[in-house]
Amino acid sequence: PGVYVCAKCGHELFSSRAKYEHSSPWPAFTETVHEDSVAKRKERPGALKVSCGKCGNGLGHEFLNDGPKRGQSRF
């Protein structure tokens, strides 16, 4: 339990309460801790490139409508 932070700057990103099991080998989250936890930019349809909202460190993607509930995203 706790908060996942950016490995580069320590900025709060995701809460363990938002973590869930997904078929991906990577940790999956439904939401960020703060509205400014991450920065996003469109990469391709259905996917946004995600980086730390403070230092810009690359974090992976937000997959739209791929969360555990209808309409939720997966980080």
Domain hosting 21: range is 3-63
Please compute the mean of the pLDDT values over residues 47-75 and round it to a whole number. 95
Separation between Cα atoms, residue 60 and residue 13, nearest integer Å? 12
* H/E stretch holding 41: strand 38-44
Written as six digits, the tokens of 60 are 């992976």
Q: What is the pLDDT of residues 22-57, one digit of tens each?
A: 998 889 999 999 999 999 999 999 999 999 999 999
| Residue 69 domain-assigned (yes or no) | no
> CATH code at 58?
2.170.150.20
Residue 12 lies in a domain: yes
Residue 72, in any domain of the structure = no
Residue 35 CB contacts under 8 Å (≥ 6 apart), including other chains = none
Three-state SS for 30?
Answer: coil
Q: Closest Cα to residue 7, out of 75, 62, 58?
A: 58
Does this model's pTM top 0.85?
yes
Instruction: State what percent of residues in the chain have pLDDT above 70.
Output: 100
**For the chain, what is the domain count?**
1
Residue 15 above 90 pLDDT? Answer: yes
Residue 74 clears pLDDT 90, i.e. is over it: yes
Tell me whether residue 74 is in a domain: no
